[in-house]
Each structure stands twice: as C-alpha cells, then as structure tokens.
Amino acid sequence: MFNKIVPRSEDYAKWYTQVIRQAEMADYAPVRGCMVVRPYGFALWENVKEQLDSRFKATGHQNAAFPLFIPMSFIEKEAEHVEGFKPELAVVTHGGGKKLDEPLVVRPTSETIIGYMYSQWIQSYRDLPVLINQWANVVRWELRPRLFLRTMEFFWQEGHTAHATHAEAKEETLRILDIYTDFAVNEAAIPVIPGRKSESEKFPGALTSYTIEAMMGDKRGLQAGTSHDLGQNFAKAFDIQYLDANQKQQHCWTTSWGVSTRMIGAIIMAHGDDQGLVLPPRLAPTQLVIVPITPKNREDDKQAVMDAVAKICETLDGVRYHVDDRHDYSPGWRFNEWELKGVPLRIEIGPRDLQKDQVVLARRDILGRDGPRGGKTFVAIDNVANEVKQMLDTIQADMLKRATAFRDANTFEPTSYEAFQEVVEEGFARAWWCGDEACEAKVKEDTQATIRCVPIAQPDGAGHCIVCGAAAEEIAIFARAY
Amino acid sequence: MFNKIVPRSEDYAKWYTQVIRQAEMADYAPVRGCMVVRPYGFALWENVKEQLDSRFKATGHQNAAFPLFIPMSFIEKEAEHVEGFKPELAVVTHGGGKKLDEPLVVRPTSETIIGYMYSQWIQSYRDLPVLINQWANVVRWELRPRLFLRTMEFFWQEGHTAHATHAEAKEETLRILDIYTDFAVNEAAIPVIPGRKSESEKFPGALTSYTIEAMMGDKRGLQAGTSHDLGQNFAKAFDIQYLDANQKQQHCWTTSWGVSTRMIGAIIMAHGDDQGLVLPPRLAPTQLVIVPITPKNREDDKQAVMDAVAKICETLDGVRYHVDDRHDYSPGWRFNEWELKGVPLRIEIGPRDLQKDQVVLARRDILGRDGPRGGKTFVAIDNVANEVKQMLDTIQADMLKRATAFRDANTFEPTSYEAFQEVVEEGFARAWWCGDEACEAKVKEDTQATIRCVPIAQPDGAGHCIVCGAAAEEIAIFARAY
C-alpha cells in the first residue's frame, strides 16, 4: 500500500485506477473485463442501495428477482433491442454436461424476460400498475474494462413497470428521474443535470430515454442513471395485455430505469483529489476516523488517551466511526491511509490535547489548514459529538457547492461553431440544437463530443442551431463523456 | 387466484407448489429449472437477509462481490471440488460474438475464484483473518426443479474466511453454525438440529461440513444451512499463503458457509397448513392485516369504520401492517386471501364492533375459534397496539413450540434395524452409528434415508451401531430428505 498515486493533472485515468486499487475499493478479476468489489467499495454500494431502495419503496415499488438466463429467442423479439445488445452478449451453450437446444443469454438487461412474465401475470386493469425493481448483476461483453465504469459484469437496480396509459408511464419515468436526481444531489453531492437523451443515444427499444448527467473531475460527462419510457414496444413484442374496464384488450405501457455501480465511479471522479478518495458523508462507509496519538513507552498517557477515546465513542450515536488504534503505525501513516480512503472527518487526540480538554477535527475535503474555516479545528472534548455532526453536514453541503461551482466554471455557452469546438474540449458546452441527427453526428466527428442530454430545464425563447444555424427550440449539453 | 389448494395429506408436493404459486411467492421462469421470486416471496427473503446480515456484521464480517464467471481451469484445481460440481455446470462458450479461448463457468459456488483473489490479497499474518460474505446468485444445472428447494439459479449468501490456524477456522465454522441455528430457531421458528455431515454428504473439498437440519410438515428432513471447515485444501490449490510472525510462509486455513432461498422453502413446509402459508411474525412481510367490514350503501358507517382504522394505524408503530380496504370484495374473500398468504394476525372491524369499542383479533396459526385461547379474541379498541404486539410474540413462540412438538413426536429411537427401517419412513430416526460408510450406504439402499447429521449434542455413553451392531460412539439422525 501507499505507492505514490499519480496526480490527476498528469494522468487522470491512471489516477482513477490507482486510487480504487490502493483504497481497496475494487480489483480486476482473473476473467478479463470482470471486477471484484472489495468490502470497502461494497460498503459504499450498500449505502447507495439503501438510499435508492428506500426511495423506491416510498413510491410504491417492490423488489423481486428474475432469472439470470434469457432464451436467445426472447432477445430477438424487439428489433431495436436485439440490434443494440447482440454484439455484447455472453452465451451459455452447455449445461449439465450437454449442449443446449437453445442457447441461453446471460442477461444484459431484463426487459425481455420481465416482459414475458408480466404477460403471464397481468390480466385486468385491476392488476395495474405493476411496479417492480430488482437488484441484480448483468453482463455485457466488454474488452476495454474500467473499474466501476465499464466492466463485463456489473451490479445495478433495474426497475420495470407496466401501466394502463401512456400518461401514467411517462409520469413514472419522470418520477424516477426525480428520484435519481434527488439521490445524486443530496446523497452523492453530485450536481447532475436531468434531461432527455437524443434519438441516437437512447436505450435500444425505448420511445424516450431520460438521464442524469454529471461532470467528472477531468471535465468529462458521465451518465449516472437512466429512465426509459418504453411506450408499447415491449408490451407488443411480449404481448403484455390487460382487459380494460370496458372489457377491451389493451396493450400496456411500460418503463424501465436503472442506476448501477457506475455511480461509484461517478462519486470517485466527482470528488476525488490527488490524495485519493473524498467521500460524501451521507454515503461514506466510515464517516469519522478517530486516531489516538500515543507516545511510545508512556503507558499512563496512552491509557488516558484511550479512555478519552472510549468516552467520546459513547457519545457518537448515529455516526459511522472507526477507531484506528494501530499504535505501532505513526500518526502520519494512519492519516494518509484514511485520507486515501476518503473518510470525511478525522479526530486526532493526544496527551497534549487532553491537557487542554480538546481534540483536533480535520476535514478530508479541505486538507491541512487551508480554506475558509481551515481544514483543522480544535473543539472542546465535551462537545465533540455535536461538532462532528455539524461538521459532517457542513462537509456534505460544501462538497455539493464545490462540485457545482466546478461544473459551472467549466460549462460554456459558445455562440459560434468555432468557439463551440474549442470549449467542448474543456468541459460542457450548452448550445442550441435544431434536433437534426446530422448535426449531432457532425459534432461527434469533429470533436468526439456527444449530446449528453437535452435538459429538462430550458431557457425561454428559441435560437439557432450551433452547428447548422437553422432554427432551434432546445438547448442541448454537449461534452466528451465516459 | 383461489383455485382450491390440494390438502397436504393428499399430495404434499402439489400442495407445496400450489401454495407458492397462489400466494404469489414465486413462479417458474420460461427457462427450464429457473425461478422468478415474486415481490411477496422476495419481501420474505429480504427479511431473512436482513436478520442474517446483521448477525454476520455483528461478528466482524463484511460484504463484497466476486465475479459470476469462473475460468474452467479454476474449478479443476481442487480434485473433490471438480468431481462434485462438474456435472452441474452451466458453461459460457461465446462472448461478444466470438468463441472464447477458455470456457467460463457460471459460478456454482465461489471457493475457487475467491481463493484466487485471497492469494493476491493476503501477504502477512497481519492481513488475517479475512472475513468476507457475499449475497449472490449461483447456478447448478437442475432438471427436476422445485421452487425454492431445487432450482437451476438460486440466491444465497456465501461466506468465505481465511485464518492463520486450524483452531481459528474451526471456531469460525462453529460460530456460523451457531448463527444459523439462532436464526432458524428464533426468527424462522424452525427447531433445527445442528450437527456434522457424514463423509459422504459433506461439501466437495471440505474437511468437515456442519449443517442445520429441519423437519418439514411431511416429516422429511431438510438441510437449511451449511458451514464448512475447508482445512488447507483450497489454500493449497490456490496458493493462499501468509508470512507468519517468524517470517515463514504458511498456508491459510479457510472456511465457507451458506444459507440460500431454500430457507424460504423450509419456512413454507415447516409451518404451512391446508389453508396456505403460515409465516412467523418476525419474518413475515406483513405481520398484520386490517380488514374493515363496511356494509353496502351505508356511507356513515363506512366512514366511521375507516376513521377508526386510521386511528388504530397511528398507534401501530413498529408493526408491518396493511389495510385491505377493497370494499368491493367480501370479508370472507379477503380473509381467505390473507390466510393463504400466511399473514400472522388479522384485525376485523365493523360497525357492530365499533359500538362495543372493540375489534376482533384473528390468529393465522390457530384458525377459527380453536386452540387454548381460541384463534379469535375481542380486544378493546384503545388497547389494540399492545394486544397486537403481544399477540405477535405469542404466535412466534407458539409456532416454534408447535414445530418442536411435531418434530419430537415424529422422532424415534429404534433399537433394532427392523424397527429402524419402519420408523425412518415416518420421521427422524435417532440411532447409534459406528461411523462406517458401508452402514450408511446400506441404510440408503434399504430405506432411501440418509444421515442428516451427527448432532453436536450427543448423549453420554456409547452403544451399538443400528445397522451392523458394532461398537458406536455417536448417535446420528437418519431421515428421508429433500
């Protein structure tokens, strides 16, 4: 551990991988493209899951589990869907020592198998809506893996709902987009932009895809969650019908939506710095680390410090804390480890602090003594719990402010295509777009940037397409992206 | 819904499947052998998970996620392991449109892939113990599936730990066995027998396997969880070594242990009756259903009843309740549905109850007015919350008592092999066993019964093998089993 991490400015991709591996978040598996999520990374994922899951349940969704294996013929039933996913499939051809009659696909996503089950379960309008989510692993063949961002197997939740009307399905799609936005902003401290995907970027088989788009520390965009209005495409392919109140058969309207372990990558890249991870307090597996500093060969002092630590711990109800009592490691070594791991707050406490009835609070997001209040504060030992809780709230709020300021400082509104091509290398470009796929394709060819989304929040009025100059009614966000 | 369920006495297997499907716990998937766990079944599984997970975490274990795909060569590294699992493997031969150089196995269990990762992570005695669990799906080819009991894909937790000494690994194996026993007895209300598996029944690759064995409603045995002392078998196959305090390389000692969705099958079969499921209150997704009984065309009465229901709900803090206000369904129809679904407790409340300031409490485990206190009780409306909480505790305790009495009444201690052959058809046979595999094999051939376990709790003294008459030091439990 503690090989030096390359600075972000020098090699961002290398920084990313080094931080993840040295902080023991994840590791590459022996199978190319696969990932092992180690306990520290998984604890972060568990907190992400808990926050999303409680929001899903509060809006009437239930969890279930659908099969890993999908008959190849199912994948082929929806034309756009098969075109989108066929190149990425892992295929089981043998089972129980025999060649299978029909190959089985390891699910890349579950619209097809769930569509089939819904066609069995849904009979009448009284059965609607069906609001189901599953937490699952999915597989998409991937030869250029990056931990959390692009791996052959990844973990996610996929919601699948069926409704009686298109209006209800649309409402559901946007309700979930709101949940994703709320989660990203208020839990992950990532100021995402909710918006609509362009036709060329939407989910294979969807009518309309919505997304939340975030800016990473290298100013690139990252899609952090998607919500799809599937229209009746899958209902027709899988015959999901219901008898309406007038005794007429109708096709359902379905949606699907997902957030994956990619969110972990987003958290790392939105907040990390050259010292390592910086985790938002609300999701951090450990919110506070207490580092007792005990002089060698002075057992009395050591005992007094450890007694004080024990007393502090008793007051820390509701705080996820850890005491690092590895006395044989130097304080500096221990500080480094927890900074690398992005623990939001640290308490340092030694004999001299005890004499003054105080401890040191050190923020991870502001290292050293920099920043408006300074990264380190002395607080009275009797008031530690209050100070810790307040400080965690402050850190959470400051992280969001900082990420928002960073994004805004790197978002440009170019007025010529020439200027556009320049600024899109440097961050997000907000620009009028006529809606023509040809303009979108030209941008991609000229700059490698894509339309991240057409934001839900649009300015008044209209303008001229940044590419072709034609009349345009919507602003789009263009950026190079993960 | 509400096709009649076949009585258990008539066709136990059919009863089992009908209950599961009609209660909407699970369904067969279009891929043969695969299962869909529907929301009601999954909610029960979530409660099982939560109870086990908190026990694992309280004893220092952390969750992680290891890959679904394992190189075929890994499976082949441990001789017994490959022999045990090879016939059950699902094999991916194609990915991303190409034939793979080395086929990938969809994990049937993860000792091999986790062993490989541990060999990378563990360097020194300071890294030990490693205490990791994962909640995962696994696949074992299965052509005679039964929902929850035997499906091609199933869900489980698999713990994998590595230790410096054999003593520590043994201690871990038994600590987990205790956790499983505690969970089964105190949460699932199933009186399991913790014990050791015979050599022929142990996990492929283990030194010693431990198990918790339960009796189902048809008097058959069911293995409800296992904990394996793997010795150094996998450490040697995967080179999991550490440098000890004397700077010498040593192989680790490892364990693995698991409880699966089979536990759901155990809960169904240990407690269910001819009306359907009977769920233990501590795990039931819904603990209490409130059924307002509102006369037709009397809006005042209906309003008064619904107001009273709303007031009751406000007091039900900490109770998982559901109000079934489908006024267009008759009370009897609604009662049946919740009885089928095994909800432990029901409140009935109508205008006449209101006049007397009371409600009816109806127990699921004692239907109608049978039983010592009667299945139905009238309780004062002001005291509903207390009565509900007490009654849930009573039901939980009574279910365990009933299951224990049932098991004990169907456990026999035959003294001749002739008697043994008779009673083993009727339940559990406790009998001395010399430890010889030949005797075990003879029993299996003569009666289809197997050794469920050699219980941890043994009587004093010694006896003579029930099969061969030779000196025997241990009692074993024999039974026909799932």
| Subunit contact B31:A116, Cβ cutoff 8 A | no
8 Å CB contact between B207 and B111: no
Residue B273 CA, distance from chain mean position: 18
Chain A residues whose beta carbon lies within 8 Å of the beta carbon of residue B106: 68, 92, 106
Interface test with B, best of A44, A66, A89, A127 (most B CBs within 10 A): A66
Chain B residues whose beta carbon lies within 8 Å of the beta carbon of residue A137: 65, 68, 136-137
8 Å CB contact between B89 and B141: yes
Closest CA to A157 of A20, A84, A62: A62
The pTM (predicted TM-score) of the whole model is: 0.96
**Helical segments of B362-461, H only:** 384-409, 417-423, 437-447
8 Å CB contact between A388 and A345: yes
CA–CA distance, A16 with A14 (Å, rounded to integer): 5
CA–CA distance, B369 with B386 (Å, rounded to integer): 21
Nearest residue in chain A measured CA to CA from B130: A39
Residues 6 or more apart from A294 whose CB is under 8 A from it? A301, A302, A305, A306, A327, A350, A351
Residue A28 CA, distance from chain mean position: 19
CA angle B441–B445–B447, rounded 5-degree value? 115
CA–CA distance, B101 with B89 (Å, rounded to integer): 18
Residue A10 CA, distance from chain mean position: 25
DSSP run (H or E) holding A194: strand A193-196
User: Which of B34, B96, B97 minimises the CB distance to A67?
Assistant: B34
Residue B68 CA, distance from chain mean position: 23
8 Å CB contact between B210 and B258: no
8 Å CB contact between B465 and B432: yes
Compute CA distances B290 → A109, B349, B459, whole Å. Answer: 38, 8, 48
Interface test with B, best of A40, A42, A119 (most B CBs within 10 A): A42
- Contact of B90 with chain A, judged by CB distance below 8 Å, is answered with yes
User: Which of B74, B103, B117 minimises the CB distance to A36?
Assistant: B117
Average pLDDT, chain B: 95
Where b means 16+ CB within 10 Å and e means fewer, B296-332 reads eeeeebbebbbebbeebbeebeebbbebbbebeeeee
Burial of A394 (0-12, 13-18, 19+ CB in 10 A): middle
* pLDDT tens readout for residues B321-353: 999 999 989 999 999 999 999 999 999 999 999
Which A residues 105-124 touch B at CB under 8 Å? Answer: 106, 113, 116-117, 120-121
pLDDT at A3: 67
Q: Which of A101-110, A224-233, B363-372, B402-411 has the lowest mean pLDDT?
A: B363-372
CA–CA distance, B211 with B174 (Å, rounded to integer): 10
| Subunit contact B36:A64, Cβ cutoff 8 A | yes
Which residues is A133 bridged to in the sheet? A63, A159
Scan for tokens 């307002």, then name that residue: B292
DSSP letters along B177-229, please?
A: HHHHHHHHHHTS----EEEEPPGGGS-TT-SEEEEEEEE-TTS-EEEEEEEEE
Six-digit token string for B318 = 């900490």
Six-digit token string for A390 = 């307040």
| Subunit contact A69:B153, Cβ cutoff 8 A | yes
Taking the CA of residue A91 and the nearest CA in chain B, the distance in Å comes to 5
DSSP-derived 3-state class of residue A367: coil
Six-digit token string for B410 = 């169907």
Which residues is A377 bridged to in the sheet? A361
- Contact of A65 with chain B, judged by CB distance below 8 Å, is answered with yes
* pLDDT tens readout for residues A24-73: 999 999 999 999 999 999 999 999 999 999 999 999 999 999 999 999 99
| Subunit contact B141:A95, Cβ cutoff 8 A | yes
- Contact of B34 with chain A, judged by CB distance below 8 Å, is answered with yes
pLDDT at B435: 96
CA–CA distance, B374 with B363 (Å, rounded to integer): 9
CA–CA distance, B64 with A37 (Å, rounded to integer): 6
Six-digit token string for A173 = 């799609």
- Contact of B66 with chain A, judged by CB distance below 8 Å, is answered with yes
CA angle B210–B213–B219, rounded 5-degree value? 155
Interface test with B, best of A61, A68, A100, A153 (most B CBs within 10 A): A68
pLDDT at A372: 47
User: Which of B30, B69, B143 minimises the CB distance to A116?
Assistant: B30
Number of A/B CB contacts below 8 angstroms equals: 165
Which A residues 122-141 touch B at CB under 8 Å? Answer: 132, 136-137, 139, 141
Closest CA to A156 of A214, A93, A223: A223
Chain B residues whose beta carbon lies within 8 Å of the beta carbon of residue A30: 71, 74, 113, 116
CA–CA distance, A232 with A229 (Å, rounded to integer): 9
8 Å CB contact between A166 and A373: no
Average pLDDT, chain A: 95
* pLDDT tens readout for residues A421-468: 999 999 999 999 999 999 999 999 999 999 999 999 999 999 999 999
Reported confidence tier of residue A4, pLDDT bands at 50, 70, 90? confident
Scan for tokens 């002395």, then name that residue: A378
- The answer to whether the bond into A71 is cis (omega within 30° of 0) is no
pLDDT at B362: 94
CA angle B283–B288–B291, rounded 5-degree value? 150
Taking the CA of residue A368 and the nearest CA in chain B, the distance in Å comes to 30
Residue A279 CB coordination number (10 Å): 28
Closest CA to B419 of B382, B467, B373: B467
Q: Which of A362-371, A374-383, B329-338 has the lowest mean pLDDT?
A: A362-371
Residue B11 CA, distance from chain mean position: 22
- Contact of A60 with chain B, judged by CB distance below 8 Å, is answered with no
User: Which of A27, A36, A63 minimises the CB distance to B46?
Assistant: A63
- Contact of A63 with chain B, judged by CB distance below 8 Å, is answered with yes
Backbone φ and ψ of A194, nearest 5°: -80, 140
Chain A residues whose beta carbon lies within 8 Å of the beta carbon of residue B132: 39
Chain B residues whose beta carbon lies within 8 Å of the beta carbon of residue A143: 96
Six-digit token string for A200 = 């060329």
| Subunit contact B31:A70, Cβ cutoff 8 A | yes
CA–CA distance, A387 with B397 (Å, rounded to integer): 45
| Subunit contact A42:B65, Cβ cutoff 8 A | yes
User: Any idea what DSSP says for residue B30?
Assistant: S
User: Which of A29, A65, A152 minimises the CB distance to B36?
Assistant: A65
Interface test with A, best of B68, B99, B110 (most A CBs within 10 A): B68
Where b means 16+ CB within 10 Å and e means fewer, B201-216 reads bbbbbbbbbbbbbbbb
Nearest residue in chain A measured CA to CA from B154: A67
Q: Is the confidence at residue A138, as pLDDT, over 70? A: yes
* Domains detected in chain A: 12-271 (3.30.930.10), 288-394 (3.40.50.800), 413-479 (3.30.110.30)
CA–CA distance, A221 with A192 (Å, rounded to integer): 10
Per-residue pLDDT of chain B (482 residues; tens, 9 = 90+): 456 899 999 999 999 999 999 999 999 999 999 999 999 999 999 999 999 999 999 999 999 999 999 999 999 988 888 888 889 999 999 999 999 999 999 999 999 999 999 999 999 999 999 999 999 999 999 888 999 999 999 999 999 999 999 999 999 999 999 999 999 999 999 999 999 999 999 999 999 999 999 999 999 999 999 999 999 999 999 999 999 999 999 999 999 999 999 999 999 999 999 999 999 999 999 999 999 999 888 888 999 999 999 999 999 999 999 999 999 899 999 999 999 999 999 999 999 999 999 999 999 999 876 554 567 889 999 999 999 999 999 999 999 999 999 999 999 999 999 999 999 999 999 999 999 999 999 999 999 999 999 999 999 999 999 999 999 999 999 999 99
Closest CA to A195 of A175, A211, A206: A211
| Subunit contact A67:B31, Cβ cutoff 8 A | yes
Chain B residues whose beta carbon lies within 8 Å of the beta carbon of residue A67: 29, 31, 34-36, 153
Q: Is the confidence at residue A370, as pLDDT, over 60? A: no
pLDDT at B196: 98
Six-digit token string for B3 = 């096709």
Nearest residue in chain A measured CA to CA from B71: A31
pLDDT at B108: 96
Burial of B285 (0-12, 13-18, 19+ CB in 10 A): buried
